[in-house]
Chain A
Amino acid sequence: MIETKHLTKKFGDFVAVDDLNLSIEKGELFSLLGLNGAGKTTTIKMLSCLILPSSGNAKILNKDLIKDSQYIKQRINVSPQETAIARNLNVQENLEMIAGIYGIPKKLISGKVEEMITVFNLSEVRKKKARLLSGGMQRRLSIAMALITEPEILFLDEPTLGLDVIARRELWSNIKKLKEKTTIILTTHYLEEVEVLSDRVAIIQKGRIKAIGTVAEILDKTNTKKLEDAFVLLNEEEQLR
């Protein structure tokens, strides 16, 4: 489904993503875990055709990331790190707009909007302007806007950033429901989130993968009992270099 080969992104002399090689299977929920500035968002931006790699390439849905970007764009969607909504449109209008932009036939749009409103518990606020929603509701809407297009691959960039505990748990519940229907690539720096949601995880530091596998495999590899310990250990190793 996703296969990167030596994927690299440089901004001037700064290497944001360094020789990334990974393979993500259909239906997986794959997490990219790292500190701020580790290269998680840059990786997502490249894989979602927003920025071009400096070198290397990737196959998304068996298509070339650079040459076939229009094909890929039609079949993926992203919920960006900051909530990406049209603030003066209400919940329903936001969903209708994105469905239309992705070319969903008009007769199907209202059914899909209803489905998203039900799945994400947005029925009470469906006529409320997006700017008046709480942070948690806005984030749910942003993810619903990504899902209404039924993407084969969904990128969730720090989906729970800035949410309170209750809103975070609600969102986890929504994300769990999506697993297996959609391949999900999730970036986060919340360890608990990775443990609860991920099938596999890659720990990224300074643009490079330091460990990859299931949580159990990473614990085994680092000889630790908690993901937090494994994460700290890998970070300390990097700092000692």
Chain B
Amino acid sequence: MKSIYFAKRNFKEILRDPLSLILGVLLPVFFILLFSTISKNAPIEVFKPVSIVPGVIIFGFTFITMFLGLLIAKDKSTSFLTRLFISPLKPKDFIIGYSIPLLPLSLIIGVVCLIVGIFVGVPVSMKIVYTLLSFIPYILFSVFVGIFLGVVCNEAQIMAIGNIYIIASALLGGAWMDLNLLGEKIKNITEILPFSHAIEFSRIVLSGRQENIWIHFTIVSIYTIVFFLLSIYFFMRKMKSDNK
């Protein structure tokens, strides 16, 4: 229950930053509208609604990582986190308190973009609901990467690393380009990163293609578990480092 009060605060902090709304929701919506307009003039496979909509949504979750990382880094730079470290909150309360607010926010991004997707040609069916559920592993991954970055980096470092992360997710995820065009070496790199797998997982679910989704699900889940453990480890280390 204690962590819920902390989670409420984090939810309000993020929502009250107008940049969260612009980057988190409006930018993906803009991209969906832009690429679906292009697709009408240039019938490229990757720009088709069932392809571009999940791709852009996964890209949109990248900003979740940024919001959370910056929030934690800001808390670290003030006495606010010191006050909380003195409070009865335990490490698990911090992890829950920082994670929970991002889950509804991410689902809002997913729902809004899927609704826009319907208007640009995504067929209405139960697959839309399954697609929303398919985002969950990558949402969790984004949250834990955010906690990890927030604990390890300061604000300036997060801005720098965040830019690289956003570009990497945009270019190496294949949200709006065929990864085969990047050449074999870069394609191989994209195979070991989670971005393209998260996109492909959701695309298969939304399109209903008869393909093996488990390889994509497994890779994203492994990354999620790794960053979950890293975020706990580094958060506990941060609390202990203040204890030396």
Contact = CB atoms under 8 A, between A and B. Distances in A.
A, B from the same assembly: yes
Interface of A: 48-52, 70, 73-74, 76-78, 80-89, 93, 96-103, 129, 145
A89 B80 CA distance: 12
Given A50-B86, A76-B86, A81-B79, 15 more contacts: A50-B82, A50-B85, A52-B243, A78-B83, A83-B79, A84-B79, A87-B78, A87-B80, A89-B13, A93-B9, A93-B12, A97-B5, A97-B8, A100-B4, A103-B2
B6 interface: yes
A181 B102 CA distance: 41
Interface of B: 1-2, 4-6, 8-9, 12-13, 16-17, 78-80, 82-89, 242-244
B9 A89 contact: yes
B79 A50 contact: no
B80 A86 contact: yes
Given A97-B9, A101-B2, A78 B86 contact: yes
Given A89-B13, A100-B5, A51 B83 contact: no
A51 B89 CA distance: 15
Contacts of A84: 78-80, 82-83
Nearest to A74: B88
B87 A101 contact: yes
Contact of B84 (A89, A93, A101): A101
A165 to B, nearest CB: 24
Contacts of B12: 88-89, 93
Contacts of A51: 242-244
15 contacts: A52-B243, A74-B88, A78-B83, A80-B82, A82-B78, A82-B79, A85-B80, A87-B80, A88-B16, A96-B5, A97-B8, A101-B87, A101-B88, A102-B88, A103-B88
Q: Which 5 A-B pairs have the closest CB atoms?
A: A100-B5, A84-B79, A84-B83, A80-B79, A82-B79
